[in-house]
Structure 1
Amino acid sequence: MKVEKFNDPLARRSHQLHFETLRLDTPFQPRLAELSQTNDWYSWAGYKAPHSLYDEELEYFAIRSTAAVFDISPMTKYRIAGSDAEAFLNRLMIRDVRKLGVGRVHYTAWCDDHGHVLDDGTLFHLGPSEYRLCCQERHLPWLLDSADGFSVEIREETTDIAGLALQGPTSYAVLRNAGFAGVEQLKPFQIAHFPLQGGTVTISRTGFTGDLGYELFVPRALALDLWDRLFTAGAAHGIRAIGYSALNRARIEAGFIVANADFITSETALRGNRLRTPDEIGLEWMVDMEKPNFNGRHAIQIARTKGKLRHVLVGLEIEGNVPPELSLVYHRKKKEAGIVTAAIWSPLAKRNIAIASLERPYGSRISDDLWVEIYALRELQYQKMMKRAKIVPRPFIALPRRTATPPALF
């Protein structure tokens, strides 16, 4: 057998067998590795990402009490540009892209032809005829196929662009101390560009925590410069790096959903009854039926008018203090009604809260006498508990500082 030697690391990687291939490093991995005390990593879209770095609870309280930094570089990112960029995106998205002004961001979703959600994400309008689409799953073949007939250029820039989420009450103070003058003028879902080491950092007032917060995007080569600048400026403001476990707690409190956790995307679903329309995962408010035709419009309209909506996503408050994640929901303790997709004991709300997918009519016409089946491990023995649940609005918490403009320094 001939053995080939490669001095170039990229060449070596391309010739590795799939089970020998290591998870990729994000541009911020050197800093994360230095801070990691738990060595608790997971794979996010092929990248090495931290579940936690030192202590999950303390990381959560960094979000709610000071400033927390989370590496969002593995998030899939597409640059979509060209004279038909707006028309192309408006054909795909369930929201009206024509209403998204330059320098603005909106949360959106897109469907297949049957009205089932392919994914959700954020759409950044960076400049005239230029957008960035950020999402959980990879969709490049689908985007390219959908672009037939449009004058548009689509390029994945996941590896080229590094991203950080800076979230928490002192996040604005950190940015001000870092020298990003004018960032206080950013309103929620607004974008601005700032100089950084001869390049540019794009800052948006967005996030996944329901708190005051920002997301920062830079070319890969400037990633560590950005990190060091933030942590130097934030030393007096309690800045801490965090992992996904802490972020997940905050997003549940905020009532936000995660693809392939709270709903299964249509490209990854193996069973037909796992598919969901926007109305079945709480995104009905996004669907703009007044705009020109878009993917799935006809199917969504039929589902609405002919009563074909089979599921509903709800917020639950459950008695007790044991989070019922992935527990079954019952009506009158007998009839299975759905499943809890995410749950925590909320330190901020002081409640046991959950997001659940229910089968209609539960959660719509029938909303009383709901119970959750919980198996709690008590000294090597599981104890079955039936706890009463009631449907409550999302978000579970609402923090005025999230939208205050200009934000306070705290």
Structure 2
Amino acid sequence: MTLSPRHAAQAHILMPRLETPFHSRLAALSEVNDWYTWSGYKAPHSLADAELEYFAIRSTAALFDISPMVKYRIAGPDAERYLNRLTVRDVRKLGVSRVHYTAWCDDHGHVLDDGTLFRFGPDEFRLCCQERHLPWLLDSAYGFAVTIAEETEEIAGLALQGPTSYAVLSAAGFDVARLKPFDVVTLDRVTISRTGFTGDLGYELFVPRDEALPLWDRLWAAGEAHGIRAIGYGALNQARIEAGFIVANADFMTAETALRADRVRLPDEIGLDWLVDTEKPSFNGRAAILAARRNQSLKHILVGLEIEGNIPAEHAIVYHRGKHEAGIVTAGIWSPIAKRNIAIASLERPYGERFTDDLWVEIYALRELKYQKMMKRARIVPRPFVKLARRSATPPGLR
């Protein structure tokens, strides 16, 4: 069917959101019809009660649909060399059946995205991230013997997180007792990695699209005795803030989506300096990153804040001495487990670097149709805000 110019122009508005392979299970559980759009897919912000969903992460087991996460299969004789040129970490140090967190930059050293890199074999990888980068990845592959294919639609994914997540997998027949953090294994055609975005004990599972529902049902049946609950992004976001993890285009703007020149960030400006392997002879943005360090020209810094009171300070302005604008809170919550008002903030140097005391945040709380302005003291604290020993315990304890 050929659309008229007017209808063609409206097609992007009329096109419905895509549904993930697990949508039918999520829709059946949804009591609040609270959906948002994630990479073109319909995804739940919450399914029933966001507070109970959060406590499933921290007390039992939470099941979260990560199918919309963008996934690329990268393979070929030059796959390692290509990815080592592309990303800031040394891919040569990434063993087979292992995963690492990484980032990649443009030639100016500005972060294009962050994500996880899975190594399935000497020449076979999967790159998972927030944004779509296929044209850029293909352009960057010039001269390398690699094949790059997006497999977002073909591969379904679930995050199983929480203290009973190992018990659920064991009850479902998956032997992952020896799986250490950032290990990956394939069992019964299910790829399982000990990874997650909650700072808790957890796993991520990937299967071909047509095997998605049997996997969900297998985990759901096994999890009934272990308090399993499906969750939305609202609960996951609380947990990731407690863990001190950052989100692209929330805590920093990616170089391809930033509309203003001063919005882009170098790795050192968003707390990713530890990822950068300067021993590598060449990778995208290396010269610019090292020049910024050498010239002390870094303009921003990402910090953790603890704020007095219990009113979340998300998107609040941060001040020094109550009057000089120092930056903005990019994410903030009252942490139920830490019993603290915590936040991640992007500050303009020298604030957060030389000037670390006498910080304030300006919070506007809506009280019966009227905003109440509050100036609350803040202090810089280390991330993660919550650190759980069970996240790295091997083998995990059965609960």
Q: TM-score, normalised by structure 1?
A: 0.95
How far did residue 126 of structure 1 move? 1.0
Aligned with residue 27 of structure 1, among 1, 17, 21: 21
Structure 2 gap segments, 5+ residues each? none
Contact 1:91 1:292 in 2 (8 A): no
**How far apart in 2 are the matches of 1:56 and 1:301?**
43
1:11 corresponding residue in structure 2: none
2:81 corresponding residue in structure 1: 87
How far did residue 291 of structure 1 move? 1.0
How far did residue 128 of structure 1 move? 2.0
1:65 corresponding residue in structure 2: 59
- Which residue identity does 2:35 align to in structure 1? W
Aligned with residue 289 of structure 2, among 276, 282, 300: 300
Is residue 188 from structure 1 mapped to residue 181 from structure 2 by the alignment?
yes
**How far apart in 2 are the matches of 1:371 and 1:394?**
19
Is residue 144 from structure 1 mapped to residue 128 from structure 2 by the alignment?
no
How far did residue 4 of structure 1 move? 7.0
**How far apart in 1 are the matches of 2:29 and 2:9?**
32
Map of 1:3-402 to 2, 5 A cutoff? 17-181=11-175, 183-195=176-188, 200-402=189-391
Partner SS for 2:177: helix
- Which residue identity does 1:217 align to in structure 2? F
**How far apart in 2 are the matches of 1:292 and 1:42?**
42
TM-superposition CA deviations, 1:311-365 (whole Å, max 9, x none): 0000000000000100000000000000000000000000000000000000011
How far did residue 160 of structure 1 move? 0.3
Is residue 409 from structure 1 mapped to residue 398 from structure 2 by the alignment?
yes
- Which residue identity does 1:185 align to in structure 2? R
How far did residue 15 of structure 1 move? 11
How far did residue 381 of structure 1 move? 1.1
Contact 1:121 1:136 in 2 (8 A): yes
1:8 corresponding residue in structure 2: none
**How far apart in 1 are the matches of 2:348 and 2:210?**
48
Runs ≥4 residues deviating over 6 A: none
Partner SS for 1:185: coil
How far did residue 17 of structure 1 move? 1.6
More displaced stretch, 89-98 vs 377-386: 377-386
TM-superposition CA deviations, 1:152-205 (whole Å, max 9, x none): 000000000000000000000000000012x0100000001101xxxx000000
TM-superposition CA deviations, 1:374-394 (whole Å, max 9, x none): 011111111110000000000
- Which residue identity does 2:140 align to in structure 1? S
Structure 1 gap segments, 5+ residues each? 6-13
How far did residue 292 of structure 1 move? 2.2
Contact 1:188 1:205 in 2 (8 A): yes
- Which residue identity does 1:361 align to in structure 2? P
**How far apart in 2 are the matches of 1:18 and 1:63?**
36
TM-superposition CA deviations, 1:237-261 (whole Å, max 9, x none): 0000000000000000000000000
**How far apart in 2 are the matches of 1:174 and 1:15?**
48
Partner SS for 1:339: strand
**How far apart in 1 are the matches of 2:130 and 2:354?**
32
How far did residue 16 of structure 1 move? 8.2
- State the aligned residue count: 395
Give the alignment's Cα RMSD to 1 decimal: 1.2
**How far apart in 1 are the matches of 2:265 and 2:379?**
23
- Which residue identity does 2:309 align to in structure 1? G
- Which residue identity does 2:163 align to in structure 1? P
1:9 corresponding residue in structure 2: none
Cα 1:312–1:15 shift into 2, 3 Å: closer
**How far apart in 1 are the matches of 2:370 and 2:44?**
30
**How far apart in 2 are the matches of 1:352 and 1:127?**
44
**How far apart in 2 are the matches of 1:52 and 1:287?**
36
**How far apart in 2 are the matches of 1:220 and 1:235?**
24
Percent identity between the two aligned chains: 75
**How far apart in 2 are the matches of 1:128 and 1:305?**
35
Q: TM-score, normalised by structure 2?
A: 0.98
**How far apart in 1 are the matches of 2:77 and 2:177?**
32
- Which residue identity does 2:90 align to in structure 1? D
